[in-house]
Structure 1
């Protein structure tokens, strides 16, 4: 029997690739260095972060009146909701490990689509990162009672840095264009700041960030027709929870770095998802505190941000109709002049199947104020939508047109407007003057007008959850105290426990 010759050693070796370990990708080291080495000295950033913290906590409390959010955050094993020295989930009596706590807090924060917003090439809600930040800090304070506790200022600094990472990444990089959801940036930003909070060094933070990039990423389909779904309301909770888990895996198990997670040929993120194109940083090259200083607050309406000015314009139109002795029933047509982003995200006709469908439909968010002179979270429920045929009837009379100047101003870093304009024609042929709103009340250009309303929003959320009680009064007193930044975090969160 003849013998088959083995391939020659020379032939075999020609297919072997060198396994030299590369240095970590530059973006990983840049983010880690920012988190560990950059001091935040902007008073504007800290002042804005304080308002952001209060507003975000209030939004979380407001969500808890809805049964579905309560069902989503409750632990699968009941005992896991009553862990000794666990982090508290504000507005509940849960004490959880920081991973499940981050999911619960992050989910309540995002549920009503009422927390802050950042709009650029990518969209998102930087305060979603508070889910991980607050869960970790509260847990560390309670589980290490002899150590120097984290204070509110530490939360604010972590928020500023998480906002910056998420927001700067979003300026020139569109994840939605490749079908990914923006919560990838929540996972990245939370991983970065939480790594430092739990005691990782700069090199370990690089490792954690590499896993945040390689970890499974959410498809964006649940935010868009025809698949709009309530997942959009807990996706950020999931992302911030995953971030906390990754940071602790580095700390507890020493999981190794994936140094060229972005740049390695074929298998890296750039080649796999971005056609070989690296991330861009054209508008801002450095991380500091720009995003927190310019963040957008949602003050007037729990609605997708590209429709905030449209809803405000609709409220103004409602008053005009009343002054004319008319109502929404007298409307023949409505032209909505808007930005490109709104056209892509919330321009929607046809049936709306759930809450998530409705709060991402610009026509719905215009119809309700025109009919009722309001737009609240309850207005997206089946009880309101299904029982009111007038809403869908009015929606059918609307059409969107893309405005190039609105789109240009939307991307202009000196403006960052979110303009909408309504042109209403009545059945009798009367054309009302077009109503244009360029900047929502939560925009930096309207801070003086917006902050008192933001604090009123916070107070309303506190009293809605805790009533006009001594507990509510203590929360409001702590929150407005001059020494608030020096308050131990767990002492403040104690006030939010549901008795």
Structure 2
């Protein structure tokens, strides 16, 4: 007897619970924590400072941004790209700002089973808020203006969505890039900023999961390349596009995650479901790691340890190349995956994801590694002493560092360095658990604002920088139309 396969179940089903939870949070959750609002201001200024630093410092980033093709004079509803004179359509604007924020790996970071950078989402958020506000004011519709309080609300919620997924869900284990979470978070909050109905937002978020998503290959040897700098911009652009498609009436796929065989879980996540260990709130913005110094997040404490060792060597009159026999670095599992790199380093993206390079440059400089030190035209990029020191550095995972990294009550990003001198003397191990920029370091907010002030000054006058800082500190900031805030960053 021939068995006839059962027909596919085509009955209507509600949206997957994860998608409903995301949209419910974005549309219903009220933010009441003062610390969350204060930290959101810090995050906003840090991200915009990083964006201006990228466009100023990296010729490769500068080549990426600007109109894809000339726009007609007087075209309305355009995004004014911070740090430039460009006026861009909403999609190119989201791409460009997302790329600028991320390009130099100097924006914030959030560790977990997945690694990511929540301020990437601001590329979509600010482009949408700016354009919608400009159109509303031009059309005499003040009720549709997006205020800076709404921008910060979107920022807090995008951070929370991305970070809560990062805690337990390792997209890297299946080869997917973490910018999938930028796409999800940015799609959800862009939907609200664009005044989509709840049903339209559910559709938009389902489309974000439906996309398939970029591979992580461009972050890993031997294919590490500059795409890792614009991947977030790509996610921001796609997020805005999907929200606009849903607003135009495109229906969603209600069981995009759970449907057997064809859904995300079966196709891309090895049949596993997402693990969200806590409800969405404001925890991520309140604990996100800011990068005061320019180093990949998992190597920041190694850089601080190297600075301490450099001081010791200087005090002893020792030369790092001649007088060091070996250096042993202990790190977390994430550090072993992301910044454990041997052999030739081909570009800035390679260098800023190499712990050995960062440590070697710090020891030779006797000072903090800086953005320029990773660039192709940096003298360190071709200095044979850097490679000589890199070859003396070994790396290994410390199980306790990994455990503390994942422990939600600890969340350290520890690295330690032990130096053996040429005469056999072993210097005391230098361990740094919490980098500058960590929530446990009291000086973090002050240092992040100082970093933002420096970065803004690369493109804007001192008077303009002080005006921006004063605006952010004022009560008027909360009701300021987003486009009026963005105008302050234009050339």
TM interval, short-chain normalised = over 0.9
- Deviations 1:266-315 (CA, angstroms, capped at 9, x unpaired): 0001111122211112x31x111111111110012x22100010011111
Runs of 4+ with >6 A deviation: 10-13
Q: Structure 1 residues 357 and 130, CA, compared in 2 at 3 Å: closer, same or farther?
A: same
2:325 maps to what in 1?
Answer: 332
Q: What TM-score comes out, normalization by structure 1 length?
A: 0.94
Report if aligned partners of 2:362, 2:369 keep a CA contact under 8 Å in 1: yes
Larger Rg: 1
- Residue 369 of structure 2 aligns to a residue whose secondary structure is coil
Report if aligned partners of 1:318, 1:327 keep a CA contact under 8 Å in 2: no
1:383 maps to what in 2?
Answer: 377
Distance 1:18 1:297 in 2: 48
Alignment counterpart, residue 182 of structure 2, candidates 171, 186, 190: 186
The answer as to 2:350 corresponding to 1:357 is: yes
Alignment counterpart, residue 36 of structure 1, candidates 27, 46, 57: 27
What runs of 5+ residues in structure 1 fail to find an aligned partner?
1-9
Alignment counterpart, residue 438 of structure 2, candidates 443, 453, 463: 443
With 98-107 and 484-493 compared, the bigger mean Cα shift is at: 484-493
1:56 maps to what in 2?
Answer: 47
- Deviations 1:37-96 (CA, angstroms, capped at 9, x unpaired): 111111111110010000000000000122211111122212279742311110011112
Q: Structure 1 residues 13 and 242, CA, compared in 2 at 3 Å: closer, same or farther?
A: same
- Residue 221 of structure 2 aligns to a residue whose secondary structure is coil
2:38 maps to what in 1?
Answer: 47
Distance 2:73 2:359 in 1: 40
- Residue 441 of structure 1 aligns to a residue whose secondary structure is coil
With 162-171 and 423-432 compared, the bigger mean Cα shift is at: 423-432
- Deviations 1:117-143 (CA, angstroms, capped at 9, x unpaired): 110011100110000000000001101
- Residue 16 of structure 1 aligns to a residue whose secondary structure is coil
Report the aligned-residue RMSD: 1.6
Deviation at 1:482, TM superposition (A): 4.3
1:323 maps to what in 2?
Answer: 315
Distance 1:159 1:275 in 2: 31
Distance 2:316 2:29 in 1: 57
Deviation at 1:426, TM superposition (A): 1.3
Q: Structure 1 residues 467 and 317, CA, compared in 2 at 3 Å: closer, same or farther?
A: farther
Deviation at 1:473, TM superposition (A): 3.0
Deviation at 1:14, TM superposition (A): 5.5
Report if aligned partners of 1:85, 1:95 keep a CA contact under 8 Å in 2: no
1:22 maps to what in 2?
Answer: 13
Deviation at 1:204, TM superposition (A): 1.2
2:93 maps to what in 1?
Answer: 101
The answer as to 2:245 corresponding to 1:245 is: no
With 311-320 and 483-492 compared, the bigger mean Cα shift is at: 483-492
1:285-300 pair list within 5 angstroms: 286-300=279-293
Alignment counterpart, residue 399 of structure 2, candidates 379, 385, 404: 404
Q: What TM-score comes out, normalization by structure 2 length?
A: 0.95
Distance 2:210 2:180 in 1: 10
2:112 maps to what in 1?
Answer: 120
Deviation at 1:451, TM superposition (A): 1.5
Distance 1:186 1:327 in 2: 44
How many residues are aligned here? 483
1:165-184 pair list within 5 angstroms: 165-184=161-180
The answer as to 2:35 corresponding to 1:75 is: no
- Residue 101 of structure 2 aligns to a residue whose secondary structure is helix
With 10-19 and 239-248 compared, the bigger mean Cα shift is at: 10-19
Q: Structure 1 residues 81 and 209, CA, compared in 2 at 3 Å: closer, same or farther?
A: farther
Alignment counterpart, residue 474 of structure 1, candidates 450, 467, 478: 467
Distance 2:414 2:195 in 1: 44
The answer as to 2:452 corresponding to 1:458 is: yes
Distance 1:382 1:195 in 2: 40
